[in-house]
Amino acid sequence: MKAAWFRPGIIATGLAVLVVLAAGYLADRQNSALYREQARAEVAESLSQLRTDMETRLYGSVQLIRGLVGVIASEPDIDQAKFSRIASRLLDGQSQIRNIAGAPNLVVELMHPLAGNEAVIGLDYMQNPDQRDAVVAAMELGTVVLAGPVDLVQGGSGFIVRYPVFVDRPDNAGTKPWGLIAAVIDVDQFFAQSGLLSEALPVQVALSGRDGVLSHNGVFFGEPDILNRDPVTAQVSLPAGGWQIAAIPQGGWQELPRDVWYFRAMLCAAGLLVVLPVGFAGYLHDQLRARSGKLSHRESEMRKLSQRLNLALETSKIGIWELDLDSGELRWDRRMKELYGVRQGESPDAVEHWINKLHPDDRPKAVAEFEEALESRDTYRSVFRIVPKAGTVRWIRTIGASHQDSDGRKIIIGVNWDVSEELQLKTELIEANQSTELRNLELEEARKQMEHNSLHDVLTGLPNRRFLDERVFGPDADVSPTALVHIDLDRFKQINDTLGHAAGDAMLVHAAQVLRQNTRGTDLVARVGGDEFVVVITNRVDEAWLERFAHRIITQMQKPVRYKDQTCRFGASIGITLADNDGAASNSQMLIDADLALYRAKRSGRNRYEFFDASLKAEIVSQKQLADEILTGLERQEFAPHFQPQFDANTLDITGVEAVARWNHPTRGTLAPSAFLEMAEELSVVHHIDRMILLKTLFQSKRWEAAGLAIPRKSVNVSAGHLNDPELMKLLHGLPIVPGELSFELLESIFLDDENETVSQNINSLSDLGIDIELDDFGTGHASIIGLLHLNPARLKIERRLVKPIVDCARQRKIVSSIIEIGKSLGIEVVAEGVETLEHVAVLRDLGCETLQGFALAKPMTTSELIEFANSEVWRQRAA
C-alpha cells in the first residue's frame, strides 16, 4: 500500500503551496525593497535641501567678508572706526557672524563689534599657539579657510573663516601680504538657520569633517551612531574643503513598510485562492482514484468469487434452476440439464417439464412438497428420484428459496444435486452398522463367558477365589455373610499321589456335589484352593445349625466313593466363623478367622470341626507375641546355656556336662525349651539358638577351667536345621575346639527323615574336627542297628521315659539292659537320662551303664552354680 502522502492530489497541493510560498516570499521582499528605496529617496531629498541651505549660507558669509577684504585692499590703513562702519554695514542683518577681526601683519587691530571684544585687540597670531598653524596655513594657501567648530573664548562654539589679505605694492610690482581678516560664525545660529535644528525636520543628521577636512571622521553635529545606521550621505562643499552630511529618517529606518501586514494578508489571500482550488481538485482526484481502485479490487474479488462458485458447482455437479413466479417460466443451467438428461440446446419452459422427469413413484410426493413450498414461501427442500433417460434412476436432493429480484420479479431459485451415491453409502453404512452390532453382541457374549470363566472353577463349576475376592471380600462386595465355613479335605493328597489326578479330580467333583446338596440356593459354595472349599452362608443361622451342618458334611465326605474300580476314602476338617452381631469383623477378617479355626481342627485330629472364638484369638495373639519376643530375644542374645552334669556310674566323678538352652526372658524369668522351642521351630530359627548355645558353652567352659574345674566333656544339642547349615563348618573351623572334649547330641529322627547331602557331609567333617556324636533320646525312634553302625556315634543317650520305670518294672529294665548290651557290643558308650532317684543310680550301675544324668544327682545350672556344685561334692554324700 502506498503512503497517504503519495497521492497525486496531495503532491499537487504541496507543489502549489511551494510555488505560492516562493512567490509570496519574493513579492514580500520586493515590497520591502521598494519601501526602503522610497524611504532613502525621501531622506536624500531632505538631505540635498539641507546641504543647499548650508552651502548658500556659508558662501553668503564668505562673500560678505570678501567685500571687506576688497575694501582693505584698496585702503590698507583703514582705522577702527571705518572698519567698524563698513563691517556693520556689511553685516547688517547677518546674525550668524558674531564678529569680524582685522589683523594687519597678523596682529589684531581691528574688531567689529568692538564692544565685548576689546580683549582681542592686540592678539598676535604668530604668538598664539592655538591659532598660529591655521593662520600660517591660510596665508600660505592664499585663499579663504574655514576652521571649526571650535570653542570660543566668549563662550559657545563657532566656525572661524580666515581670509588672507594682499595689497598692491606702491610701485605696482604685484601684491604684498597685508594680514588676515577673521570672522567667527556662530555655529548654533548657523545650524538653526540652515534648518538643522527644526523640529519638523523629517531626518536625523550627522555632520563630520571638522575644519572642512573630509577625512576628519569626528562628528561635530548629531549622533555619531547615525554613521553606522546605513545613512544616506552627501557632501557639503565649503569655500575650502567640505563636510560630509549623513542622514537617516527620524526614528531610524523602518524595517517593514507600515502596511506590510495588510500586504501579506492580501498575499495569503491570493495564495489561498491558488492553493485551495488546486488542493480541492487534488482531493477530488484522489477520491476518484481510490474509489476506482476499490471498485476494481471489488470487481476482481467478485470475479474470484464467481470463479470459485463456478468451480464448486462444477465439481459438485450442482445444478441451478430458477422459476419466474409471475410468468411461470423455468430456467435451468447447463449442469441442471446434465443432471436431468436434457440436451443442451433444448430448454424446459415450464414446471411440467420437471414433473415429467420425476420417477412415477415419487412424483405425487415431490409435486406436493413443491406446491406447498410455493404456497408457504418457505425454504423448499425435497428428495426424490428422477428418470434422466429410460432405464436409469437417480436420487436428487433439492433446496430452493423464493425472493424478489432487482426488477421486482418474484422468483424461486434453487439447486439440485445427485445424492444417489450418498444414499447408497448410507444404506451400506446402516447395514454395516447392523452387522457391527451383531458382532458386538457376540463379543459381549464372549466377554461374559470369559468373565464367568475367570470367576469360576472349571472342574467343579463353582465360583473361585477371585469370585469371592470380588463379591464377598473386595471393597465392592455385595454379599454379607452370616457365617463362613472353611472346609479342607483330609488325605486328599494321598489319593492324588496313589490313584492319580483323574481320581483326585473325581473326588473334588464329588466333594463339590456334597457341599451343593447340603446348602441352600442363597448360600455360596466356592472352591478356593486345591482341596479347599468355602461356604458363604447368608441366611440367619445359629451355632447349633452350623454344628449340624458341619457334622453332616464330615459324615458324608467320609463315605467311600467308587472311582472306576477303586474305592476312595477321604475326610474333611472344618473351620467355622460366625459373623459378629455388631458386624465388627470385616468379611475378609471372617475368612482369616475361619481359616484359623480350620487350622485348629486339623491340629487336634482330622474329621473335626472347630468354631473360631475369643480363646482361639487370644491364643493366636499370644503366639504372635511369643514369636516377636523370640526374634528380639535372639537379637539381644537372651538365650544362654545351663549345664547339667553327667557322672561316672561307678566312681560318681563328673565326666561331662550337657548344655541345655534357657531363655532369660525380660519379664517371665528363665524359661525352659518347652516354652519356646516349638515356636522357634515354626519360625525356623532353632539353628540360631543352637549356635548361640554352642558359642556361649565354649566361652563358659573357659570360666570353669579358669576356676580349676576339670570337666572332661561338654555336649550341646544340635537341631536338624543347624546340621543342615552350610555355614556350620566354617563356624566350627574358627572355634577353639579341643578334639574329644565337645559332643553334638543329635536326635535319631534327623537321620531317618532325609538322607541329606549337607547333613552327611557335616557329620563326616565333625569327626575330622574331633567332635563326638551322641545319639539323643535313643529308644523312641526307629534307628536301626545298620543305621547306627553307619553313623558310628561315640555315645547313646537312653530316653528318660525308658529309664524312668526300670526300678519297678522288670520288663522295662530288660529293654534298657538290652540297649546297654548293644552299646557295649558295638563299642558305644551308654548314657542314661532321667536318673531321678538313688534307686535308678543303683539299678543302672548294676546294669553296666557307664554314665548317669538326672535330677537325682544334679539339675541343669549356671556356670557359677556348676563351679560351686562341683567343689562341694554334695552328690557323693547323697548317694552314699
Q: At what angle do helices 80-90 and 8-74 cross, to 10 degrees?
A: 150
CB-wise, 263 or 855, nearer to ligand C2E?
855
793 in contact with ligand C2E (CB under 6 A): no
860 binds ligand C2E (CB under 6 A): yes
**CB of 454 closer than 8 Å to CB of 469:** no
Stretch that binds ligand C2E, among 147-155, 584-592, 683-691, 726-734 (CB under 6 A): 683-691
Q: Look at residues 681, 697, 683 and name the one whose alpha carbon lies nearest to residue 745.
A: 697
Residues 6+ apart with CB under 8 A from 420: 393, 394, 395
The answer to whether 830 and 612 have CB atoms below 8 angstroms apart is no
Task: Take residue 564 and report the three cell numbers written for it.
Answer: 472306576
Site stretch for ligand C2E (CB under 6 A), options 50-58, 197-205, 453-461, 688-696? 688-696
Among the residue ranges 314-322, 473-481, 760-768, 852-860, the one whose residues contact ligand C2E (CB under 6 A): 852-860
> In sequence order, what are the beta bridge partners of 852?
647, 832
CA distance 16 to 366: 73
> Which of 484, 835, 847, 866 is close enough to bind ligand C2E by CB under 6 A?
835
Instruction: Give the H/E segment covering residue 729.
Output: helix 728-733
- Interface stretch with ligand C2E, choices 7-15, 249-257, 471-479, 831-839 (CB under 6 A): 831-839
Name the residue among 104, 64, 103 with its Cα closest to residue 86.
Answer: 64
Q: For residues 690 and 777, which CB has a smaller minimum distance to Ca ion in the complex?
A: 777
Stretch that binds ligand C2E, among 177-185, 401-409, 538-546, 670-678 (CB under 6 A): 670-678
- 275 or 852, CB closer to Ca ion? 852
Binding letters toward ligand C2E, positions 730-759, x by CB under 6 A: ---------------x--------------
Residue from the set 351, 660, 671, 879 that interacts with ligand C2E by CB under 6 A: 660
Binding residues for Ca ion, rule CB under 5 A, total: 5
Closer residue to ligand C2E, CB minimum distance, 627 or 861: 861
Closer to ligand C2E by CB, 286 or 774: give it. 774
3-state secondary structure of 581: coil
Task: Indicate the residue among 471 and 804 with the shorter CB distance to ligand C2E.
Answer: 804
* 587 contact, one of ligand C2E, Ca ion, none, CB 5-8 Å limit per kind: none
* 854 touches, from ligand C2E, Ca ion, none (C-beta below 5 to 8 Å by class): ligand C2E
Q: Where are the beta strands (DSSP E) in 187-332?
A: 203-208, 219-221, 232-237, 242-249, 319-324, 330-332
Pairing of strands 639-648, 654-665: antiparallel
Q: By rule CB under 6 A, what string of x and - marks binding of each residue 282-311 to ligand C2E? A: ------------------------------
The C-alpha atoms of residue 328 and residue 306 are separated, in whole angstroms, by: 27
How many CB atoms neighbour CB 448 within 10 A? Answer: 10
Alpha-carbon distance 151 to 159, whole Å? 9
Q: Which three cell numbers stand for residue 71?
A: 575694501
Instruction: Verify binding: residue 679, ligand C2E, rule CB under 6 A.
Output: no
Is 211 or 833 the residue whose CB approaches Ca ion more closely? 833
Distance CA(58)–CA(94), nearest Å, equals 11
> With respect to ligand C2E, which residue has the nearer C-beta, 693 or 802?
693
Q: What is the rounded distance in angstroms from the CA atom of residue 260 to the CA atom of residue 717? A: 143
Closest CB 745 distance from ligand C2E, rounded Å:
6
DSSP conformation class of 6 = G
Distance between CA atoms of residues 381 and 414, nearest Å: 9
* Nearer CB in complex with Ca ion: 382/851: 851
Instruction: Tell me which of 523, 531, 777, 850 binds Ca ion, using CB under 5 A.
Output: 777
Question: Which positions from 710 through 769 interact with Ca ion, judged by CB under 5 A?
Answer: 717, 745
673 counts as binding ligand C2E under rule CB under 6 A:
yes
690 binds ligand C2E (CB under 6 A): yes
Query: Can you tell me the distance from the alpha carbon of 847 to that of 234, in angstroms, rounded to the nearest whole number?
Result: 187
* 254: three-class secondary structure by DSSP: coil
Q: Which of 382, 416, 717, 762 binds ligand C2E (CB under 6 A)?
A: 717
Q: Which three cell numbers stand for residue 695?
A: 558359642
Q: Where are the alpha helices (DSSP H) in 377-419?
A: none
Q: Is residue 693 a contact residue for ligand C2E (CB under 6 A)? A: yes
Cell numbers linked to 348:
424446459
325 binds ligand C2E (CB under 6 A): no
Residue 519 CA from chain centroid, whole number: 65
Which is nearer to ligand C2E, 362 or 776 (by Cβ)? 776
Residues near Ca ion, by CB under 5 A: 717, 745, 776-777, 833
Residues near ligand C2E, by CB under 6 A: 644, 660-661, 672-674, 677, 686, 689-690, 693, 717, 719, 745, 776-777, 800, 833-836, 853-855, 860
